[in-house]
Amino acid sequence: RNIMQTVSVRFKHLGLLTSSLFLQTAAFSSRFPYSSSTPLRMGWADTWDDILQGGSQRWKITCEESHQKVISHLDSFLEDKKNNPNQVSTLSVFCPLAGDDPIVHLLWKRGYSVTSIDLVPQAVAQMRNHFKEGSWMSEEQDDGTIIWKHDSGRATLYVGDALVSRPELVNKFDAVYDKDSFGALQKDMRAGFCKRLSEYTKKGGTIYIEVKLKENHHEVKHIGPPFSLKKEDLMAEENFGSAFEHVKELGSVYDIPIPSAMQTGHVLRKK
């Protein structure tokens, strides 16, 4: 029982950690000192309160030009899945640990069906605020997960643990959009995350994934988050390698305000 409790706490920690992607390590340590009595959920709730009240935006990318570059990449690699060039509403995109990433709403506006998941209620509330159109209804599952559904029928937002198995999502998605989630995970926690994405992605489905790459990669690749990652890290057999093939390395996808680091993109396809 104690072992299971420990695993449960680690999984919840994972969801919280990746929800607030990539605080600078020093800033994280000084602003959120951790002790065994610190309620992790409350810590990240305080973080989101600070963001929403005008504090540091931390990991968030707010540049519309950067957003449009991401949308263009996703469009180009999903082109062969469209029924016709002007219709994308039949395509479903999963956005794990998305926080309030504006890309989710932008994909919805482009006609995609979107599903996101994050453990922090404030993040998901802010995500709903991006949708100025329509209204939301919510339901609660037995495990405490809250599911928000948009009246368009094309947007679903989960408030819950991203590593919990969710049978209703198995083999559901044509694509996955992952901004930095994999790169926030400690090495021994990545396999479980990749397993979930493999379960949820259709055969032939696409993963568009962004990760950090630092100039002195070999010297610092074990330091993080954010971890410095290359193709071989993503495609290790225990990670994406067993279920996906690597389609393309995109290089730098947009500029980020982190010295000596690039925001790089990769495209994978489900075998």
Is the dihedral angle over the CA atoms 225, 212, 75, 195 positive or is it negative?
negative
DSSP string of 155-208, one letter each residue: EEEEES-TTS--GGGTT-EEEEEEESTGGGS-GGGHHHHHHHHHHHEEEEEEEE
Distance CA 19, CA 161 (A): 10
Q: pLDDT per residue over 187-241, tens digit each?
A: 988 999 999 999 999 999 999 999 999 999 999 999 988 899 999 999 999 999 9
In this prediction, residues 139-153 reach a mean pLDDT of 96
Q: pLDDT per residue over 177-188, tens digit each?
A: 999 999 988 898
The arrangement of strands across the sheet holding 261-270 comes to: 136-140, 146-150, 155-159, 113-118, 92-96, 173-179, 201-214, 261-270, 244-254
Peptide bond into 257 cis (omega under 30): no
pTM over 0.85: no
Residue 9 has pLDDT above 80, yes or no: no
With CA atoms as reference, report the closest residue to 102 among 128, 138, 78. 128
